Chain A
Amino acid sequence: MFMPNVPVGQPVPGFSEKDLIKRSASSVPEPARRLTEVAKLIDISKCIGCKACQSACIEWNDTHPEMESFQGTYMNPHDLTPNMFTLMRFNEWTNPETDKLEWLIRKDGCMHCSDPGCLKACPAPGAIVQYSNGIVDFVHDNCIGCGYCVKGCPFNIPRISQTDHKAYKCTLCSDRVAVGQGPACAKACPTHAISFGTKDEMKAEAADRVKDLNSRGYKNAGLYDPPGVGGTHVMYVLQHADKPHIYNDLPDDPKISSLVQAWKGAGKFAGLALIGFAAVASAAHAVFAGQNKVTKHDEEEGEALTGKDA
């Protein structure tokens, strides 16, 4: 039986701080329970690009995107913004194999990585958290607006508000999921191109879709759940899973940048170690070498050179 709307009654509603598995710039104790991982599945082959998801996102999150102008594409606003957490990106792609036009429409937004680069880069304790159900959320009370998450994210998602200087992105409607609802975009999607459920269910649904797409001649159809970031909690069904980049630069193999790894990983400890070493070395030198003092001889020579006033 077709369920046009997302079923209400999520696997484990009511998650909270005690379900954190990662917290930026700090550590959390291993939680007592593990929630079932959830996921949003975006089936690009079912998406009609109607932007109901964008509209629902604006309404639910009560954001106020600016009135912009036509930009030479159906995409609007011109990009993700602190007031637009999700965006339909349109690409007119001519399939070189069939010479047929395909209009690839991808709903862009936070992928809720298992290994979130934003969280890794974030310097503010608790500004970015990850729950054991997989949701990566920004805690605005703790956010300092530095933009490090922007650099950490392999998908170019977070946006920093110029008004309150805090980072914004899709929360996977953590507030809705917490009370047993699916994300607002999934609820609004008229064609069921966005589904929400446990990650396993979504993978099974995707497998079904891939089979259907294979039967329609999309031999490379597949699920986008990139292992480079430990898998994601927002996944795509792609008609051409062998080349994700045709979907408006969806990364083929996203990873947290090695620069960010160096900066926020080993580099962090190496730097502090060096500083510590320098301080200790100086102290040791003072102890062992003693102060470099001006001797009597120096004073006399100095006086001799400078002479006396008549």
Chain B
Amino acid sequence: MTQPWTDIKNTDLAIVMGGNAAEAHPCGFKWLVEAKAHRGAKLIVVDPRYTRTAAVSDYYAPIRQGTDIAFLLGVIRYCIANDKIQWEYAKNYTNISYLVKDGFSYKDGLFTGYDEMKRDYDRSSWDYQLGADGFVQSDMTLQHPRTVWQLLKDHVEQYTPELVERICGTPKDKYLHICEMIAATSAPDKAMTSMYALGWTQHSKGAQNIRTMAMLQLLLGNIGIAGGGMNALRGHSNIQGLTDLGLMSNLIPGYLSIPTEKEKAIGDYLATRQFKPLRADQTSYWRNYDKFFVSFQKSMWGDHATKDNDWGYDYLPKLDVPAYDILRMMEMMNEGKVNGYFCQGFNPILSIPNRAKTTAALSKLKYLVTMDPLDTETSNFWRNFGIYNDVKSADIKTQVFQLPTTCFAEEEGSLANSGRWLQWHWAGGSAPGDCKHDTWIMAQIFLRVKKLYQAEGGAYPDPIVNLTWNYADAEEPTPEELAKEVNGYALADQFDAKDPTKLVAGKGKLLVNFSQLKNDGSTSSGCWIYSGQWNENGNNMARRDNADPGNMGTFLNWTFAWPVNRRVLYNAASCDMQGKPWDPSRKLIEWNGSKWVGNDVPDIAPDAQPGKVQPFILNQEGTARLFTRALLRDGPFPVHYEPFESPVKNVINPAIRGNPVARIFQADVASFGDASEFPYAATSYRLTEHFHYWTKHNRVNSVLQPEFFVEISHELAAEKSIQNNGWVRVWSKRGEVKAKAYVTKRIQPLICDGKAVHVVGIPLHWGFMGAAVKGWGPNSLTPVVGDANSDTPEFKAFLVNIEPTTPPAVS
């Protein structure tokens, strides 16, 4: 989220699309309820299903899953056509006036440089025209045909309300009503917030779904302002923390990246990451990349990371592929290229697409280690549970080690919420039986592996044997020790940059925040963006002062928000070119003539002059990108592509199946179905009674929603002679499930290009373990397709067939 949850109360209009905030985020949703109750805010819900969020909305419109880009590009077209643009904002805070290279073009669904064999683009033309000074060329009149504005206008022209209706199935009158509501927030003193979640990310073009809304929000001037923003409602209490801390194969904590194998030396690595400003006087914060990186290396290897060994650059693994994400890992297990798997707090049997493939992959392993507080399906994947897990146990040779861990309520630590607040929590109880903290288990494994390396040597023992391990009890680092390590220490006395006589952190002290990080090895920090969480003032994450003097919901003394306790990202954009808030009644910060002051920590240097230094300091332009250059693999502008499994043809580019650069494995292509055999558009989702596959182990949650079901319309039910509460069989090319049918008015057939598209909704909370009634999940059916940029699986749009059936035999 660019905002904290508490900022939602400041909004005038919320659009929930690609998410279901009320059901999946009921606690955060209270702030929207508050905005409705006390600001008169309106809520729009656009979703294939009339959800519980829709139940409290002011306006609902249906949409076919996987067509959000068409919908939103159409809204952008509407805003352009009706001059509903926040012009001062767009011209100054976005790249709307920049000139794009002449080589760049878009035609028939593809941008310049597509290579069909590689399923990838040569993106070299996707960039600005730079002047001799290295700065970007622009035309503030926006008349130049190569301005982003002109290109964007051309790009969205196709997405007329009629086309949107044909693609999305959204009735034109409802669509236009929503356009009108959204466009009204282009007024400088109006704010719209976009609340989305996995309904946008879990597509083969998930990143572009989100970008399209971001572009719309920028044109409306809704980014950086109170009550605005792009708000990713994270699907997990600490999934924000997962990405922050780089728990992905291609990341280092703090959104630094793992080097690729082409980047042999540290110089190659830093050169492509330490972005220079593209405008005069602009701050480009990533210029400090080397400080963050070196400090990270120091926290990892301490005295073993020296200038002479390039701060231990060689200790880092180098990527030969873009990422070793979960889909690739399963593919490699299936190919026999991976034979051991540590599965920590994860239940892939139910959580990743094509369960049959996952089961086959795990069955080929030599060993599987599961670390989980619950007795998961993955831990038991080899056991036969009748129709619910019909495997031949005798044929599975995988040795499974099940290590019971504590759960969040049994341990101390911080959770990073969607609003980037690091909230410290304390153990509510002790763990049952032999459960151990994950940190204890990891320490045991590490110490044993280290011992083996020390005793037996090996190919390259250095990164392991030299790893810093300065914990009071080497067997179990404490959360406090880890939190301090992540915050970072001064390895030598640190002085104020402007006043070298002023000591800010003596040697061995905790750093105040990341502004003190150095590239000379005199500082350490495990995750630069978290620096400040636990400094010499103490554990800032444990703060619980709910004072909010400006009544802007910033709560600056409540826990700690990264970065540097900032609550609203890009908040300098909440002010005009003079540094005055667009809406004086909703002041986050303002320029007082010499510095930025206000209710939030400014997202700009405190003395950076408004109008000169633009607010998007993490971009080398200083402005936000409507045209995203070469930074996304599938295009600088979003394009409507159908899901890989779609009930209808792509009406604008019939020759293209799916996102042309989405990640697919050749071996999976044969498992994709088409509409002739599988005519119904399925989607997966959660219900508010449950959390993933955890709460089915809890009796109370299970009582409230005990059994697997699928949701279909009355029309489909009539067509297929399916009774409400009767049993159905749902199958895709990859598997089948049995479920009770919920025949509901909340799902209506969508008329797409003159054809009725029936939606089958498949909630995901059941399996063969736990307290609830045994059942299946959607991932027995979903295809293995990864988003072009994030590799996130396309869980939200796939094809199935359905028929009435008999109840499963009771075993």
Contact = CB atoms under 8 A, between A and B. Distances in A.
Given A49-B55, A50-B52, A73 B742 contact: yes
Interface stretch (B34-42, B218-226, B525-533): B34-42
Interface size class of A (residues with CB under 8 A): 35 or more
B704 A55 contact: yes
B19 to A, nearest CB: 13
B30 A191 contact: yes
B14 interface: no
A184 B744 CA distance: 31
Nearest to B748: A101
Given A67-B771, A72-B742, A47 B30 contact: no
Contacts of B688: 48-51
Contacts of A100: 60
B745 A94 contact: yes
Contacts of B34: 2, 192
Given A48-B53, A72-B725, A192-B34, A66 B703 contact: yes
B22 interface: yes
Interface in A159-211: 190-193, 209
Nearest to A72: B725
A51 B22 contact: no
Nearest to A54: B704
B26 A190 contact: yes
Interface stretch (B270-278, B495-503, B705-713): B705-713
B700 A46 contact: no
A45 B56 contact: yes
Nearest to B59: A100
A67 B702 contact: yes
Interface in A226-270: none
Interface string A86-116: 0000001010000011110100000000000
Contact of A4 (B30, B38, B704, B771): B30
Contacts of A215: 40
B776 to A, nearest CB: 13
Contacts of A67: 699, 702-703, 706, 771-773
A104 to B, nearest CB: 8
A50 B706 contact: no
Contacts of B9: 2
B88 interface: no
B551 interface: yes
A76 B703 contact: yes
B96 interface: no
Contact of B705 (A74, A102, A105, A191): A74
Contacts of A52: 26
Contacts of B33: 46, 191-193
Taking each of A48, A54, A55, A58, which has the highest tally of chain B beta carbons within 10 Å of its own beta carbon? A48
Contact of A92 (B26, B29, B707, B744): B744
Q: Which of B50, B52, B703 is packed against the most chain A CB atoms within 10 Å? A: B703
B27 interface: yes
Given A48-B26, A190-B29, A215-B40, A103 B54 contact: yes
Interface string A63-80: 011111111111011000
Q: Which of A45, A54, A55, A190 has the most CB of B within 10 A?
A: A190
Contacts of B703: 58, 65-68, 76-77
B700 A1 contact: no
Interface in B767-790: 771-773
Contacts of A59: 700
Given A48-B22, A64-B699, A67-B699, 16 more contacts: A48-B23, A49-B688, A50-B22, A50-B688, A51-B689, A54-B704, A55-B700, A58-B700, A69-B740, A76-B706, A92-B744, A92-B746, A190-B26, A191-B22, A191-B30, A193-B33
Ranked 5 nearest A-B pairs via Cβ: A72-B725, A70-B707, A48-B22, A103-B55, A190-B26
30 contacts: A2-B38, A47-B56, A48-B29, A48-B53, A49-B52, A49-B55, A52-B26, A59-B700, A65-B703, A72-B724, A72-B740, A72-B742, A72-B743, A76-B706, A101-B60, A101-B745, A101-B746, A103-B55, A103-B746, A190-B26, A190-B27, A191-B22, A191-B26, A191-B56, A192-B33, A192-B34, A192-B37, A212-B37, A215-B40, A216-B58
Interface of A: 1-2, 4, 45-52, 54-55, 58-59, 64-74, 76-77, 92, 94, 100-103, 105, 190-193, 209, 212, 215-216
